[in-house]
């Protein structure tokens, strides 16, 4: 065979192998989860003039709940970006979705120079307060423009923001705008690149804001915030609070690799949502969940089926397919994996990874069910399975009653099968073992074929043989 032809065949085989591998990867790892709820956000894109000379207009996205009204207004201010002109119009949206779920209209203004907003952000060196106030005046203008829109209740307004948007929110508090009932700062702060003492500037600026603010505020920070050190944000809050501003601080602890990003992750919702609910209720603003479609579904409760790292407990998957589960275990939170009869799909990140994992699992398998969410196993114990007993350890082959040596060998083989599984025995030594969709029924049918008195001995990892049954048998003897 000519060398060129052999090389051609080799490349063809290699290409085919890579293609099949890529297709396998696609099956195991679906497209990224969407970043928004699957519901009409009723968006309006507004262009709000905030300056006449020079002319500057901010791009503002207004979202309305699907039903009801008039709605209180939440203005949510975004964080900074190294590439403002290419910043997405919607980002870090769990704060926005939270307010929609509580029945608020939500306005998301883009800062000057960001996305389709015109103008440029000013530079104020180490005067962090001046930087905040410049943007606060733009936010105030946006409020004046949006509040009269039909469907909005202009008498009930909350302003929130993440990172530099949180800092601008705190700055807005000094303007004491009528009808703004509360301020929400998610990891709020600002650092100018040309300020060598940026942390000190934040402490000074926070004290200045606090001295001129009467509107209640709530601050959220995490211990491993890579933008603002714990000592810095704690000092900022002390200065702000000591200056007289009514405020409270919520420490969400350590979150993933960087707590500064917690508003972008559904996994952080339990850390801050209850606290924000309580704050809004305290200031007389809506705080109850009225439109759950805007937030990920609550994670199922732990089932105590198995430890998250117990590979032997994973149902249905063969040895090769367990690589899918191993990939899930290495994925960052939020994450979820759904397992079906013949395949599994996992998802990490996005709006609702559990819903996405289930959707994609049904595309490649049947009878899908969530196995784990984040670090919690939620796979249910087999429905109608008898309760576990203390009769014997699962692996104690010698403890299984009635069986002859062949039956004990079969029980040993049963212990190596994939879950869901069940093992049934009869007084005459008959047995039945099954693994699959309905193992308890299948095991009982196999055991009962020509035999009477069959009962389940083990289901999955539990021995379910009742102790009192053995005691009764022993008494008859």
**Which pLDDT tens digit goes with each residue over 209-220?**
999 999 999 999
Higher-confidence position of 462 and 9:
462
- Residue 89's pLDDT band (cuts 50, 70, 90): confident
Q: Which of 239, 165, 176 is nearest to 202 (CA)?
A: 239
455 membership: H or E segment, kind and range: strand 455-459
Please give the average per-residue pLDDT across 266-272, as a whole number. Answer: 92
Please give the average per-residue pLDDT across 75-83, as a whole number. Answer: 91
Question: Is the confidence at residue 271, as pLDDT, over 70?
Answer: yes
What is the C-alpha to C-alpha distance for residues 90 and 105, in angstroms, rounded to an integer?
15
Q: Note whether 181 and 106 are within 8 A (CB).
A: no
Looking at residue 92, its pLDDT comes to: 62
Across all residues in the chain, what is the average pLDDT? Answer: 89
Q: pLDDT tens digits, residue range 292-311? A: 999 998 888 999 899 999 99
- Residue 5's pLDDT band (cuts 50, 70, 90): very low
Question: Is the confidence at residue 31, as pLDDT, over 70?
Answer: no
pLDDT over 90 percentage in the chain = 78
Higher-confidence position of 464 and 88:
464
Higher-confidence position of 89 and 462:
462
What is the C-alpha to C-alpha distance for residues 79 and 88, in angstroms, rounded to an integer?
11
pLDDT over 70 percentage in the chain = 90
Q: What residue ranges do the domains of the chain occupy?
A: 43-294, 297-377, 397-476
Taking the model in full, what pTM does it have? 0.79
- Residue 28's pLDDT band (cuts 50, 70, 90): very low
The conformation of residue 34, written as its DSSP 8-state character, comes to P
Looking at residue 473, its pLDDT comes to: 47
Looking at residue 468, its pLDDT comes to: 58
CA 29 from centre of chain: 18
Looking at residue 11, its pLDDT comes to: 36
CATH second-level architecture of 43-294?
A: 3-Layer(aba) Sandwich (3.40)
Question: Is the confidence at residue 41, as pLDDT, over 90?
Answer: no
Q: Which two tokens stand for residue 29?
A: 């790892």
- Residue 8's pLDDT band (cuts 50, 70, 90): very low
CA distances from 174 to 50, 181, 207, 208, 267 (A): 19, 13, 11, 9, 33
Higher-confidence position of 29 and 401:
401
What is the C-alpha to C-alpha distance for residues 399 and 394, in angstroms, rounded to an integer?
9
User: CA dihedral defined by 376, 378, 384, 386, rounded to 10 degrees?
Assistant: -10
Q: In what order do the strands lie in the sheet with 335-339?
A: 344-348, 335-339, 369-373, 376-377
Instruction: Print burial letters for 189-220: b (CB count within 10 Å at least 16), e (below 16).
Output: bbbeeebeebbebbbbbbbbbbebbebbbbbb
Question: Is the confidence at residue 157, as pLDDT, over 50?
Answer: yes
Q: pLDDT tens digits, residue range 327-340? A: 999 998 889 999 99
Q: pLDDT tens digits, residue range 362-386? A: 999 999 999 999 999 999 988 889 9
Looking at residue 34, its pLDDT comes to: 55
């Amino acid at each position: 065979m000519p060398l060129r032809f052999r090389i051609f065949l080799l490349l063809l085989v290699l290409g085919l192998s890579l293609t099949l591998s890529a297709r396998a990867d696609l099956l195991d790892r679906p497209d990224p989860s969407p970043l928004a709820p699957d519901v009409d956000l009723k968006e309006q894109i507004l262009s709000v003039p905030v300056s006449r000379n020079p002319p500057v207009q901010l791009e503002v996205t207004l979202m309305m709940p699907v039903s009801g009204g008039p709605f209180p207004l939440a203005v949510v201010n975004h964080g900074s970006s190294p590439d403002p002109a290419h910043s997405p119009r919607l980002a870090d949206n769990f704060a926005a979705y939270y307010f929609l779920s509580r029945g608020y209209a939500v306005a998301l203004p883009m800062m000057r120079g960001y996305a389709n907003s015109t103008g440029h952000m000013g530079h104020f060196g180490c005067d962090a307060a001046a930087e905040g106030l410049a943007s606060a005046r733009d936010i105030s203008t946006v409020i004046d423009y949006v509040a009269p829109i039909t469907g909005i209740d202009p008498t009930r307004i909350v302003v929130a923001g993440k990172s530099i948007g949180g800092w601008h929110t705190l700055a807005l508090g000094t303007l004491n705008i009528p009808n703004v009932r509360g301020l929400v700062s998610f990891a709020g702060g600002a650092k100018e690149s040309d300020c060598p003492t940026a942390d000190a500037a934040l402490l000074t600026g926070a004290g200045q804001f606090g001295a001129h603010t009467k509107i209640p505020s709530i601050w959220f920070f995490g211990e491993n915030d890579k933008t603002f050190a714990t000592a810095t944000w704690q000092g900022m809050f002390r200065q702000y609070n000591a200056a007289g501003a009514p405020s409270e601080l919520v420490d969400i602890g350590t979150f993933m690799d960087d707590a500064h990003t917690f508003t972008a992750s559904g996994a952080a919702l339990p850390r801050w949502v209850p606290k924000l609910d309580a704050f809004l209720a305290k200031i007389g603003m809506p705080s109850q969940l009225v439109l759950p479609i805007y937030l990920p579904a609550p994670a199922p409760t732990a089932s105590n089926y198995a430890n998250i790292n117990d590979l032997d407990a994973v149902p249905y998957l063969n040895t090769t397919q367990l690589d899918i589960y191993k990939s899930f275990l290495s994925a960052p939170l939020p994450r979820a994996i759904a397992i079906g009869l013949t395949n599994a799909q996992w998802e990490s990140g996005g709006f609702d990874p559990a819903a996405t994992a289930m959707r994609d699992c049904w595309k490649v398998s049947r009878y899908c069910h969530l196995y784990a969410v984040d670090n919690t196993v939620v796979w249910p114990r087999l429905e109608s399975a008898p309760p576990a007993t203390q009769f014997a350890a699962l692996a104690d082959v010698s403890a299984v009653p009635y069986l002859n040596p062949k039956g004990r060998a079969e029980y040993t083989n049963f212990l190596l099968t994939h879950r869901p599984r069940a093992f049934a025995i009869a007084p005459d030594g008959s047995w039945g073992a099954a693994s699959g969709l309905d193992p308890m029924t299948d095991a009982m049918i196999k055991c009962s074929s020509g035999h009477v008195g069959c009962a389940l001995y083990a289901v999955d990892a539990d021995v379910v043989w009742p102790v009192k049954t053995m005691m009764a048998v022993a008494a008859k003897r």
